[in-house]
Structure 1
Amino acid sequence: MNHRRQAVRGLTAALAALVALTAAGCSSKAKGGDGEGTGAGGVKAGKGVTDKAITLGALTDMTGVYATLGKSVTQAQQLYVKQVNAAGGICGRQLELTVRDHGYDPQKALAAYTELEPKVVGYPQFIGSPFVAAVKGRVDGLDKGLVLPQAWSASLLGSPYIRVLGSTYDVETINAVDFLVKEKGLKAGDRIGHVYFEGDYGENALAGAEHAAGKAGLEVVEQKIKPTDNDMSAQVAALKQAGVKAVVLSAGPRQAASLVGVAAATGLKVPVVGNNSAFSPQLLGTQAGPALQKMYWVASPSLPIGADTPVAKKLVADYKAAYPGDSLDNGIVAGWTAASVFGEALKKACAEKDLTREGIDKALLTMTSYDAGFGMTHDFGDPKAPSSRESVILQPDASVPGGMRTVRQPFTAEAAASYAP
């Protein structure tokens, strides 16, 4: 494991160096107390808050490896902002969402963070575990703006200001392996493949896979890839030769389509389970679509967009009305959930007459049983823990809204309940 930890530390150090460079020109203005004072309604306010507006930041990927996810997350949050404002806003102020596309590029992500930092009160969106991890020291030390990332790495735990929504990748992967054992026939002595991105996301998921495998008596066959690797032929060939009985995928939608499509075509017809960011319903329209519906499952931190809940049904109707030409996917759920959590924290902070960054962070700590309407109850009382350890298992299905149906309701595997990163 030492070489993997060294690789992660190296990536984080390189990104942290970029943070230092991009922050150098404005570090003298980054003190958390700058501009704080009492405004309209007797409410204390600071960066990103005026008497008329509360400005939020979205650091997204609209053009890179997670472009589909980024678009859905962003549009869902823009819809949330529009609806809140139509109802009168929060604390007598209108919400504003300032969006920057980093294209999953480290330099662009960190430059965008530095640009928005003095202008926003916090971030209901920040895609990319490595990029969030790189600014963690700055967020915790000086900036203190609440970040609700669309990233689930355990390395983000422990910060009062960066709060993971749902189970982290390691816990999610433990639940995924439990699904393979309980429902797909894996048994002690079997080999499972794990194809994973280098860096924070993949390494964290691998830790979960190894923990779950150890508990179940399985052997993990590793295949590490880069986010730019789109052809999984070599990985499938290696896993087939190793005789794996199942595969875990901790990568993106493009890699999922290639891996499952190649596996089906070459005779490696074993169940494949991906982490929550390793699928988009657009894949069902590709040549890999039929194989994905037969061989692929996804572990998710929430019920899908097509869930039979009042919140899900209303969101589907509202999203279709707002974006009639766009498809439904679980990025909408992730975006809406993060925006609604942030909005609830703002309301609680307003009730305490403190809309400073630290006031909002304190308000979030009081939210210990928040239900966003998608099957999970979130507890934000402990910054050292994810807000939930539950996962849902979904299966691609072109016949249902959002392209995914639930095959296992929210659960926490025994190995996940007792797991400590």
Structure 2
Amino acid sequence: MTPKQRLRSAVVLTAALACVLTACGGDTGSSAGDGPVDANGVRTGPGVTDSTITLGVLTDLSGPYGPLGRSVLQAERLYADQVNARGGVCGRKLKLLVRDHGYDVETAVGQYREMEPKVAAMPGLLGSTIINALLDSIEIDDLMTTSLGYSSALLGQPALTIIDATYDVDMINGFSYLADTQGLRRGDRIGFIYLEGDYGNNARRGARFVADERGMTLVEKKVGPTRKDLSEEVRELGEAGVKAVLISTSPPQTASAVGAAAAGGLDVPFLGSAVGYDPRLLETPAAPALLKMLQLVAPTPAMTSDTAEVRKLVADYRRRYPGDPLDQGLETGHNTMAVAVQDLKSACEAKDLSRAGIIAAHRRQKRFDPGLGPVLDFSDPWRPSATQSYIVKPAQGVPGGLAGVRDAFRAPVLEKYLAIL
């Protein structure tokens, strides 16, 4: 049994013992003292009045991830307004309480304390370092929270959820795809440039797993968040004789690395994490290299997808925010709010809109289709809600600056990894 499996067993045992001691049970998983009951017999909690349900969004609108944060937030607002136009949820309108932490941990902690008593759930917490700083509070407060960081290290938290595949799962799928389609063989040296921190480290875990399984050597280059010029790392990878490069960095760093490879004659395929791309990069001098050399592994389809839900999102967003750029953050915001609304509907049906009731409703979701990406299963907090990925590539003149290459798939080796995750 792995350390994580032992921890999982301990958590399950502790939860079962707590249930016995407190006589929990019934249809909702809530005790009789969880909160007031409305005229329709629905138990309520913080953030829930007779007319509104307030949801929290603690995000970055002015810091390094400001463009992404704005796209996600605007898609969330669009979805919430559409739900409200149809009558809301449980006879109540949705209200978003938004705070901009600017990617500052101290600011975010203070804002969370101010927001927490006012919200029923938080479908939008952006920033790995901020999420880590708030983990204990989220669990103590029983606040159903959606992480907009996708590290599998965050799994196992009942009140914290990750929508779509985690960074390591995406990298396992993407690296496997790259090896199969580019003729990579046992003994090959593969470059990997990654950003220090949860994002890069988690993608690195997936890359190392595939390299070990396929008998390849991973040549690693770690970079800090403030490093702008990656030409030295690219030069060193070229000297090491790598046959391909994996990259899990920020968008400007991705552009720097691919541009340096093109300029320096390192003509090998690049496979990046989707979070490391921004369509605005196609307005930079690195655009020709990105279009020629880069593919990305993503948890959701390109916005050029011909599915009805994607087409509707693009059309609705353009009407609501004319002139604003389209990027993958729109799909993230859509899916995040779709899951939150489904949680609230399920909690209402169980007559329990308390925080415990919302968490229980979320964990009852075993096959939820948000319309953009794979079907999601939230029943096991220790397992990613999705294990399929998409391959996309930069493209000029299309919504989101990405075109689809391969539809949702899962690498055969992934099940072995999930068994030891």
TM-score normalised to the size of structure 1?
A: 0.89
Secondary structure of the residue aligned to 2:88 is coil
By how many angstroms is 1:86 displaced?
1.4
What is residue 97 of structure 2 aligned with on the other side? 98
User: What per-residue deviation string (whole Å, max 9, x for no partner) do you get for residues 131-180 of structure 1?
Assistant: 2133222222x111111121110111011111111111111111111011
What is residue 233 of structure 1 aligned with on the other side? 231
Secondary structure of the residue aligned to 2:133 is helix
Q: Counterpart of 1:247 in structure 2: which amino acid?
A: V
By how many angstroms is 1:270 displaced?
1.4
By how many angstroms is 1:185 displaced?
2.0
What is residue 59 of structure 1 aligned with on the other side? 58
What is residue 291 of structure 2 aligned with on the other side? 293
Question: Is the 2:166–2:384 contact (alpha carbons within 8 Å) kept by the matching residues of 1?
Answer: yes
Secondary structure of the residue aligned to 2:191 is strand
Stretch of structure 1 that moved more, 317-326 or 257-266: 257-266
By how many angstroms is 1:295 displaced?
0.8
By how many angstroms is 1:233 displaced?
1.8
CA 1:104–1:234 in 2, change beyond 3 Å: closer, same or farther? Answer: farther
Structure 2 residue ranges without an equivalent (≥5): 1-30
Are positions 1:319 and 2:299 aligned together? no
Question: Is the 1:68–1:280 contact (alpha carbons within 8 Å) kept by the matching residues of 2?
Answer: no
User: What per-residue deviation string (whole Å, max 9, x for no partner) do you get for residues 8-44 of structure 1?
Assistant: xxxxxxxxxxxxxxxxxxxxxxxx9998211253211
By how many angstroms is 1:392 displaced?
0.5
Secondary structure of the residue aligned to 2:280 is helix
Q: How many residues align?
A: 389
CA 1:402–1:40 in 2, change beyond 3 Å: closer, same or farther? Answer: farther
Question: Is the 2:57–2:124 contact (alpha carbons within 8 Å) kept by the matching residues of 1?
Answer: yes
1:244 to 230, 242, 245: 242
Whole-angstrom CA distance in 1 between matches of 2:32 and 2:83: 28
- Runs of 4+ in structure 1 over 6 Å off: 32-35
What is residue 71 of structure 1 aligned with on the other side? 70
Secondary structure of the residue aligned to 2:118 is coil
What is residue 181 of structure 1 aligned with on the other side? 179
Whole-angstrom CA distance in 2 between matches of 1:33 and 1:143: 18
Are positions 1:263 and 2:267 aligned together? no
Secondary structure of the residue aligned to 1:38 is coil
CA 1:40–1:332 in 2, change beyond 3 Å: closer, same or farther? Answer: farther
What is residue 303 of structure 1 aligned with on the other side? 301
Question: Is the 1:293–1:396 contact (alpha carbons within 8 Å) kept by the matching residues of 2?
Answer: yes
What is residue 133 of structure 1 aligned with on the other side? 132
Structure 1 residue ranges without an equivalent (≥5): 1-31
Whole-angstrom CA distance in 2 between matches of 1:247 and 1:237: 12
Q: Counterpart of 2:253 in structure 1: which amino acid?
A: Q
2:167 to 166, 169, 172: 169
Q: Counterpart of 2:58 in structure 1: which amino acid?
A: L
Question: Is the 1:62–1:70 contact (alpha carbons within 8 Å) kept by the matching residues of 2?
Answer: yes
Question: Is the 1:299–1:393 contact (alpha carbons within 8 Å) kept by the matching residues of 2?
Answer: yes
Secondary structure of the residue aligned to 2:162 is coil
Question: Is the 1:305–1:332 contact (alpha carbons within 8 Å) kept by the matching residues of 2?
Answer: no
Q: Counterpart of 2:297 in structure 1: which amino acid?
A: A
Q: Counterpart of 1:41 in structure 2: which amino acid?
A: N
Secondary structure of the residue aligned to 1:394 is strand
CA RMSD in angstroms, aligned pairs only: 1.7
The share of aligned pairs that are identical, in percent, is 45
The within-5 A match list for 1:34-53 is 36-53=35-52
Q: Counterpart of 1:290 in structure 2: which amino acid?
A: P
Whole-angstrom CA distance in 2 between matches of 1:45 and 1:159: 23
Q: Counterpart of 1:137 in structure 2: which amino acid?
A: D
Secondary structure of the residue aligned to 1:42 is coil
